[in-house]
Structure 1
Amino acid sequence: MAEWVKIGEEIVGRRRPTYVIGEIGINHNGDVSVAKELIDVAAQAGAQAVKFQKRTPHLSTPEDVRHTIRQTPWGEMTYLDYRYRVEFEREQYAEIAGHAESSGVDWFASPWDVPSVEFLEDLDVSCHKVASASVTDLEMLAALRGTHKPVILSTGMSTLEEIDRAVEVLGTEQLVIMHATSTYPLPPEEANLRVISILQERYGVPVGYSGHETGLEISVAAVALGAVAVERHITLDREMWGSDQAASLEPQPFIDLVQDIRTVEKALGDGVKRVMPGEHQPMARLRRHTDPVSAAS
């Protein structure tokens, strides 16, 4: 088990700056220029990383929905064709990697199948992210462990028993677990933030929070409750086409979120009760000093 995990140049764990991930996912809609703009948003906000999704569509798309017709900005097409339409290939990811490096943020992705793990390894990502939908894909989890890279495991729509099995396959040496609820957008009553401490106690690894709510309060509260990482979907405009846009943060709210997280980090302090510097002046002015012996007599 590891109390801290190194991802790229960052140390993720207790008493470290909260590791903030801007989840781009597929909100780029297959457009590299949009992906670059979102990387710029993450960099401006002060996030340490951005995350994408990588699929091999003919493997990761369920058979029963492959031929479903979907209305898209590019016309009517099957769901499988749509999945290919928004997928980046190596040349595009190389361009994205270069832009992320020049912007000062790390990048990685959630692979959705074993070939995608190999694809991302070829690009030498710093870590891998397991999407909540893949918690039970033990073949892919074994492939991820074989990379010897840090793994961030989201736990939405999963039981503790399913997480136990995933952790057993992945190991705990380089593991970060993210509490998550896979409801889009997330209502407050389903956030269940007290699970953060349960995961910390059960697995003894750094635990963060991956949020799908529309506001900022729940993510900030997660940090106050001990989350060492926060991941939020980001978008240029929530009115853009795409299934994740409505549960994403636009640039200014994401910037505000990171600022709020940094404020909470300062406010948490070190837990040692003492008189703070700003208290000395009001203490001298307001506190009465009474001799307890004289008061008793």
Structure 2
Amino acid sequence: MTLRIGSRDIGPGHPVYVIAEIGLNHNGDVSLAKELVDVAADAGAQAVKFQKRTPAISTPEHMKSVLRSTPWGDMTYLDYRYRVEFDREQYVEIGDHATLRGLDWFASPWDEPSVDFLEDLRVSAYKVASASVTDDGLLRRIDATGKPVILSTGMSTLEQIDRAVSLLDPARLTILHATSTYPLPPEEANLLMIPALARRYPDVPIGYSGHERGLQISIAAVALGARIVERHITLDRAMWGSDHAASLEPHGFSTLVRDIRILEDALGDGIKRIYPGELAPLAKLRRVPA
């Protein structure tokens, strides 16, 4: 149950793979996207993730004409989606920057043409967004690339997850527990789904995609066995955009990565032993020898 993305192995015995979800928090600005890449790299993450859409296809029909207030004025939801999409040259610039900073980079394609777009850019993996769990055509197109697949499971039933898993190669799959509430209240985190998914899919690494405020829930996910942790990042939670409030700012994200590494060391291997540091207290305090 080990998956390889880029040059890194994911699974038991390997470091937790930390993904900085940039998503749309770049607000269509290449410079901002590169700043967020730097935040991820400086914190010690292993990957950055974006979202790729063909807005005319991926935007639900009932949403296309809905008006939205944006920093660029009032516009339809469809026009907004076009406004924040990067073209090929912009993605090349951002992807090259991520690679130079030592990060894997990939995206969640929201429609089949977006898979072709990302294949042309030679992304290292694909992320299936929770909203796409029931999109059989998209899942088949992603699977056909032969790349590693990260399946997020928010707003999905176990039956829907089973169906998605059946369409993907388990040798190239990892599954993330998620709850798609932004921001996530603790009572909806349901972290015990991490070991439950591990029992249901024993040959697939299980991770966690979090949308909560703070760090505690993501740290607990690692303690429960998450081999991947994904969190949204932003320069400022007060920025305009739907995901900023559920994102971590640079200091918070850096602290999260630090604490994940400390927890990994603290978890140990489950084999009981007497450690060297215990020998002096043993000699001093134990009255009855074994």
Shorter-chain TM range is: over 0.9
Residue 206 (1) aligns with residue 205 (2):
yes
Q: What do residues 207-265 of structure 1 show as CA deviations (whole Å, max 9, x unaligned)?
A: 00000001100000000000000000000000000000000000000000000000000
C-alpha deviation, 1:171, in angstroms: 2.4
Flag structure 2 segments of 5+ consecutive residues without an equivalent.
none
Per-residue Cα deviation, 1:130-165 (whole angstroms, up to 9, x for no partner): 000000000000001100000000000000000000
Cα deviation digits, residues 80-115 of structure 1 (max 9, x gap): 000000001100000011100111111100000000
**3-state secondary structure, aligned to 1:183:** coil
Are 2:236 and 1:237 aligned? Answer: yes
**Counterparts of 1:203 and 1:226, CA distance in 2:** 13
Which residue of structure 2 aligns with residue 255 of structure 1? 254
* Partner Cα distance (2:35, 2:212) in 1: 22
Amino acid at match of 1:240: M
CA RMSD of aligned residues (A): 0.8
Which whole-Å CA distance do the structure 1 matches of 2:187 and 2:67 have between them?
34
Looking at CA atoms only, which structure, 1 or 2, has the larger radius of gyration? 1
Alpha-carbon distance in structure 1 between the residues aligned to 2:105 and 2:143:
19
Once residues 279 and 40 of structure 1 are traced to their aligned partners in structure 2, the CA distance between those partners, rounded to angstroms, is 42
TM-score normalized by structure 1?
0.96
Match of 1:188 in 2: 186
Q: 1:287 maps to what in 2?
A: 286
Distance in 2 between residues matched to 1:212 and 1:76, nearest whole Å: 27
| Aligned position for 2:104 | 106
Among 125, 131, 142, the residue aligned to 2:123:
125
Question: SS of 2:252's equivalent?
Answer: helix
Ranges of 4+ aligned residues in structure 1 off by more than 3 Å:
none
Matched residue, 2:65: 67
| 1:30-69 pair list within 5 angstroms | 30-69=28-67
Taking a change above 3 Å as real, the CA distance of residues 290 and 96 of structure 1, as seen in their structure-2 partners, is closer
1:289–1:22 Cα change, 3 Å = same
Residue in 2 that maps onto 1:137: 135
How far 1:267 moved relative to its partner?
Answer: 0.3
Q: Which amino acid aligns with 2:77?
A: Y
What amino acid sits opposite 1:128 in the alignment? Y
Shift of residue 290, structure 1, vs aligned partner: 4.9
Query: Which sections of structure 1, spanning at least 5 residues, go unmatched?
Result: 292-297
* Counterpart-to-counterpart distance in 2, 1:222 and 1:15: 16
CA positional deviation for 1:289: 3.0
Partner of 1:178: 176
Tell me, what secondary structure is at the counterpart of 1:173? helix
Residue of 6, 14, 17 corresponding to 2:15: 17
Identity %, equivalent residues: 69
**TM-score (norm: length of structure 2):** 0.99
